[in-house]
C-alpha cells in the first residue's frame, strides 16, 4: 500500500513519527513544510514541501488545496494519513474529491473536544482516531485505540 503522510511540523510531526511502526512497512511520501524537525526527512524520504499554513488562513489553505490536487495526482497514494493540523484540511478535501481513502489522527491535546481541523474534516475522513476515550464518547464516529507515543 502506498501512503501519503500529511502533517504540520512540531507536535503533529512527532505524532506521525509515533506511528512509524505502521507507516514504515509501506511505500510512502510526505507532505509538510520545512522547519527544523521536518528537515530530517530529506534523508531517504520523498517529501513534498508546501507553503506554511496556520489555522484560519484562507489564502494559504487555498494554495495548499491546489498543491494537494497536484501532489495526489502525481503520487497516487492508496491512503492519505494525517495527524493534523491545518495541512490536513486542504489535503483531505482534495483526497476525497479524487477518491483517495483518508485517515486522521486527532491531537493528543484534544481530550474531549475536537480541534478546528478535526471539526472541519470529522465527517469527511474515512477513519477518524482520537487519543482519549472521553473524546470518542462525545464524537461517535471517532475511534479510540490508545495514545500515540
Q: Sort residue 146 into left (φ over 0), alpha (ψ -120 to 50) or beta.
A: left
N- to C-terminal Cα separation, the chain: 23
The pLDDT of residue 10 is: 94
The pLDDT of residue 109 is: 87
* pLDDT of the chain, 149 residues: tens digit per residue: 999 999 999 999 999 999 999 999 999 999 999 999 999 897 889 999 999 988 888 899 999 999 999 999 999 999 999 999 999 999 999 999 999 999 999 999 888 899 999 999 999 999 999 999 999 999 999 999 989 97
pLDDT tens, residue by residue, 36-73: 999 989 788 999 999 998 888 889 999 999 999 999 99
**Helical H runs in the chain?**
11-18, 20-23, 58-75, 88-97, 116-121, 133-138
Q: What is the DSSP string of 22-43?
A: HHTTSEEEEEE---TTGGGGGT
The domain segmentation of the chain, as residue ranges, is 2-144
* Residue 50 grid cell: 508546501
The CATH fold assigned to 2-144 is Rossmann fold (3.40.50)
Q: What is the pTM of this model?
A: 0.94
The pLDDT of residue 65 is: 97
The pLDDT of residue 42 is: 77
For cell 488545496, the residue is 65
Cα 20 from Cα 30, distance rounded (Å): 13
Amino acid at each position: 500500500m502506498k501512503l501519503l503522510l500529511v502533517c504540520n511540523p512540531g507536535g503533529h510531526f512527532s505524532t506521525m513519527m509515533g506511528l512509524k511502526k505502521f507507516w514504515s512497512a509501506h511505500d510512502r511520501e510526505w507532505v509538510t513544510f520545512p522547519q527544523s524537525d521536518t528537515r530530517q526527512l530529506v534523508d531517504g524520504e520523498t517529501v513534498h514541501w508546501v507553503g506554511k499554513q496556520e489555522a484560519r488562513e484562507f489564502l494559504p489553505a487555498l494554495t495548499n488545496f491546489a498543491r494537494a490536487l497536484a501532489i495526489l495526482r502525481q503520487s497516487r497514494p492508496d491512503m492519505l494519513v494525517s495527524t493534523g493540523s491545518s495541512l490536513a484540511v486542504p489535503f483531505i478535501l482534495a483526497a476525497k474529491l479524487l477518491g483517495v481513502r483518508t485517515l486522521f489522527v486527532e491531537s493528543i491535546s484534544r481530550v474531549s473536544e475536537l480541534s478546528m481541523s478535526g471539526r472541519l474534516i470529522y465527517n469527511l475522513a474515512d477513519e477518524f482516531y482520537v487519543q482519549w476515550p472521553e473524546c470518542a464518547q462525545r464524537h461517535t464516529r471517532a475511534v479510540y485505540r490508545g495514545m500515540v507515543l
